[in-house]
Amino acid sequence: MTTNQARIEQRVLAWPDVTSHDHQFGGVEYRLGKREVGHYHPGIEVVDIPFPRKVRDEVVTAGLAEPHHVLPDSGWVSKWLRRDQDVEEAVDLLERSFNLARTQAERRLQHVSAG
């Protein structure tokens, strides 16, 4: 495990119900239930994070991440880990993805309960 991975996992796996899994393209994937919050590729030192398109555009425009390195026209962003501060910024983005996923799950549960 790389130092960056250890730093990320220490924070991300402390969030309620977040689990880690092998990612299909290498690295480690973080999930809230079945929903992916993001994943880390240690070989190329990048964290990829899914967002709704509007949030993705805000994140990219603010310079917090770049469009996804393979799927630039998707809702995904890539955060390259080039310096220590990048790890903290990646964790902040993962937390934003986690919070969006948690809110969506809560809404879905409320909808099912009401129906």
pLDDT tens digits for range 87-105? 999 999 999 999 999 998 8
Question: What is the secondary structure of 59-107 as a DSSP string?
Answer: HHHTTSSEE-SS-TTSSEEEEE--SHHHHHHHHHHHHHHHHHHHHHHHH
Higher local confidence (pLDDT), 76 or 2: 76
Tokens representing 60?
């990219």
pTM assigned to the model:
0.92
Residue with tokens 């880990």: 81
pLDDT at 110: 75
How many whole angstroms from its chain centre is CA 6? 15
Domain ranges of the chain: 3-114
pLDDT tens digits for range 11-58? 999 999 999 999 988 899 999 999 999 999 998 999 999 999 999 999
pLDDT at 10: 95
* Fold adopted by 3-114: Aspartate Aminotransferase, domain 1 (3.90.1150)
pLDDT at 114: 65
Mean pLDDT for the chain overall: 93
